[in-house]
């Protein structure tokens, strides 16, 4: 029996790197020809590993070709930098930061912290954070059973139960057997995420990473470095709970590589969505300061990602920082997110296209069809199509909670991650857990399962308090 470890085998990564090369403008035609001539398979379309391992000579070839691909220059790199000073210089409307340099140690209260705020300010912030945690969980849970399914399958499964346009949890009740056979639910998630099975919030990487970032702030303070993120992962994150770029970076750490090489070496997933799903705590803890939120997200993201993969995290952190003030609408939040993204990057173009497409069509199915036509060449976990869909969903729903998470999930691609981020931002905009529909929050039972730290079974109200304790308040919340 062979152990097919996903997301790290060279023969499974070479196809993804060839696709990445085509997307970032590198001429890899000769390398692609050598791989195909040797009998190399294409990248797995959905899963993280091909069904059978490659023979040793083919695996060795894949490793050599990955090295050669890394040497090819990308013509897009001038517009898609990864270093923070260059990113800032590329953004003409970079927001000014309202906080001083953050160099406090573990557990220290930063200047402008909630500990110094009035009771009413702190209480209102805690309510927003509580709603954000609940929203992230509900949106993630909604998307879990249909993760990895193609768009037409998601639509067919929901329509079979009269749940289209999507407005409620997915259910297997009433779905014809032949349809389920053709499009089975996500095998790991169905038993905990279908309407008839939900009993609290099950474990998911979209919730594990916010928990890890709470631990990060507790141990290293807001002045943490990328090496601190790596150290925390090795201490607290089981390797089997990582995927795509995070698993590659984890492997690279164990092989003795240090950041930023952890994000670069044999990592064809470096512009996928992984860093973006880690961004929430960075935004939540900097209300009114999108620049500080983006800079903190950058220090986290470069452990695993480059360029657009990093921008995805910065965009979300900045948008959430503005939403966390309690005085912005969704459109202002998204504009704030764009201010920290190089305007000539593909991520910025995708966000703008999501916003514009959502504004041009009343029917959201039409919006989704246009986005899939425009971005369908990307892998379903890549940050660019998912950023376009996320911003389209939030724009089209005008920040409404149910509308935001349902649109984000109904658009396909990385359904649980998009649902989670949409729920986080829309939860902040709602401002209070009681303003979220009970149909989404009651099944969560104020209980989150996790293998991270001592968080298993924790309540979302407790998570809001922990998050609030590490929040920096800006004097002028309007950015």
Look at residue 391 and tell me whether its pLDDT is greater than 80. Answer: yes
**What is the predicted pLDDT for the residue at 98?**
67
Look at residue 58 and tell me whether its pLDDT is greater than 70. Answer: yes
| Predicted confidence band of residue 2 (pLDDT cuts 50, 70, 90) | low
User: Which residues are registered as beta bridge partners of 113?
Assistant: 472
Look at residue 449 and tell me whether its pLDDT is greater than 80. Answer: yes
**How many CB atoms within 10 Å of residue 215?**
19
Nearest to 209 by CA among 313, 130, 336: 313
Which one-letter DSSP state was computed for residue 150?
-
Look at residue 291 and tell me whether its pLDDT is greater than 80. Answer: yes
User: Which residues are registered as beta bridge partners of 201?
Assistant: 448
Which residue has tokens 């990895």? 148
Decide: 148 and 379 in contact? Cβ < 8 Å.
no
In whole angstroms, what is the distance from residue 307 CA to residue 344 CA?
Answer: 12
Average pLDDT over residues 350-367: 98
Average pLDDT over residues 201-211: 98
Residue 58 DSSP SS3:
helix
Look at residue 1 and tell me whether its pLDDT is greater than 80. Answer: no
The per-residue pLDDT for range 298-316, each reduced to its tens digit, is 999 999 999 999 999 999 9
User: Two tokens at 454?
Assistant: 């001592």
Q: For the domain 86-145+201-468, what is the CATH code? A: 1.10.4080.10
| Boundaries of every domain in the chain | 10-71, 86-145+201-468
pTM of the prediction?
0.95
**What is the predicted pLDDT for the residue at 112?**
65
**What is the predicted pLDDT for the residue at 117?**
67
**What is the predicted pLDDT for the residue at 48?**
87
| Predicted confidence band of residue 105 (pLDDT cuts 50, 70, 90) | very low
Nearest to 285 by CA among 331, 247, 332, 323: 323
**What is the predicted pLDDT for the residue at 45?**
85
In whole angstroms, what is the distance from residue 387 CA to residue 389 CA?
Answer: 5
Instruction: Tell me the percentage of the chain whose pLDDT exceeds 90.
Output: 89
**What is the predicted pLDDT for the residue at 49?**
87
**What is the predicted pLDDT for the residue at 110?**
42
Residue 174 DSSP SS3:
coil
Look at residue 242 and tell me whether its pLDDT is greater than 60. Answer: yes
The per-residue pLDDT for range 111-154, each reduced to its tens digit, is 466 666 668 888 999 999 999 999 999 999 999 999 999 999 99
If you average pLDDT over every residue of the chain, what do you get? Answer: 94
Average pLDDT over residues 416-428: 98
**What is the predicted pLDDT for the residue at 476?**
43
Which one-letter DSSP state was computed for residue 378?
S
Average pLDDT over residues 384-410: 98
Decide: 462 and 469 in contact? Cβ < 8 Å.
no
Nearest to 287 by CA among 132, 135, 68: 132
Average pLDDT over residues 67-75: 97
Look at residue 399 and tell me whether its pLDDT is greater than 90. Answer: yes
Nearest to 265 by CA among 254, 278, 276: 254
Average pLDDT over residues 56-64: 97
| Predicted confidence band of residue 227 (pLDDT cuts 50, 70, 90) | very high
In whole angstroms, what is the distance from residue 85 CA to residue 16 CA?
Answer: 29
In whole angstroms, what is the distance from residue 248 CA to residue 185 CA?
Answer: 27
**How many CB atoms within 10 Å of residue 7?**
23
């Amino acid at each position: 029996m062979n152990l097919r470890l996903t997301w790290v085998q060279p023969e499974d990564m070479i196809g993804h790197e060839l696709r990445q090369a085509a997307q970032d403008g590198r001429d890899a035609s000769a390398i692609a020809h050598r791989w195909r001539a040797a009998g190399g398979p294409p990248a797995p379309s959905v899963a993280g590993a091909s069904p059978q391992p490659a023979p040793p000579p083919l695996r060795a070839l894949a490793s050599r070709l990955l090295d050669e691909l890394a040497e090819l220059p990308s013509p897009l790199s001038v517009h898609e930098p990864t270093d923070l000073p260059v990113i800032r210089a590329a953004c003409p409307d970079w927001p000014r930061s309202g906080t001083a340099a953050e160099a406090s140690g573990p557990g220290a209260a930063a200047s402008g912290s909630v500990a110094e705020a009035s009771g009413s300010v702190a209480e209102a912030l805690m309510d927003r954070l509580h709603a954000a945690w609940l929203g992230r969980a509900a949106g993630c849970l909604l998307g879990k059973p249909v993760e990895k399914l193609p768009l037409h399958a998601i639509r067919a499964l929901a329509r079979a139960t009269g749940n289209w346009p999507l407005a409620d949890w997915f259910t297997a009740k009433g779905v014809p057997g032949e349809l389920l056979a053709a499009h089975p639910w996500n095998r790991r998630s169905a038993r905990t995420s279908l309407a008839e099975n939900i009993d609290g919030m099950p474990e998911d990487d979209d919730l594990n990473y916010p928990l890890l970032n709470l631990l990060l702030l507790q141990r290293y303070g807001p002045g943490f470095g990328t090496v601190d993120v790596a150290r925390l992962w090795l201490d607290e994150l089981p390797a089997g709970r990582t995927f795509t770029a995070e698993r590659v970076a984890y492997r690279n750490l164990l092989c003795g590589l240090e950041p930023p090489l952890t994000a670069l070496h044999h990592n064809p997933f470096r512009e996928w969505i992984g860093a973006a799903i880690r961004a929430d705590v960075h935004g939540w803890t900097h209300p009114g300061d999108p620049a500080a939120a983006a800079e903190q997200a950058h220090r986290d993201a470069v452990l695993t990602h480059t360029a657009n993969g990093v921008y995805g995290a910065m965009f979300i952190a900045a948008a959430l920082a503005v939403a966390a003030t309690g005085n912005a609408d969704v459109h202002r939040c998204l504009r704030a997110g764009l201010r920290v993204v190089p305007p000539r990057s593909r991520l910025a173009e995708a966000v703008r296209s999501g916003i514009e497409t959502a504004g041009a069509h009343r029917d959201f199915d039409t919006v989704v069809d246009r986005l899939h036509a425009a971005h369908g060449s990307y892998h379903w976990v890549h940050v660019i199509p998912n950023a376009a869909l996320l911003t389209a969903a939030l724009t089209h729903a005008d920040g409404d909670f149910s509308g935001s998470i349902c649109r984000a999930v109904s658009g396909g691609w990385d359904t649980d991650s998009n649902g989670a981020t949409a729920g986080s931002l829309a939860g902040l905009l709602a401002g209070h857990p009681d303003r979220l529909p009970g149909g989404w929050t009651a099944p969560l039972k104020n209980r989150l399962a996790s293998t991270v730290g001592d968080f298993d079974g924790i309540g979302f109200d407790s998570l809001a308090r922990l998050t609030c304790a590490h929040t920096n308040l800006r004097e002028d919340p309007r950015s």
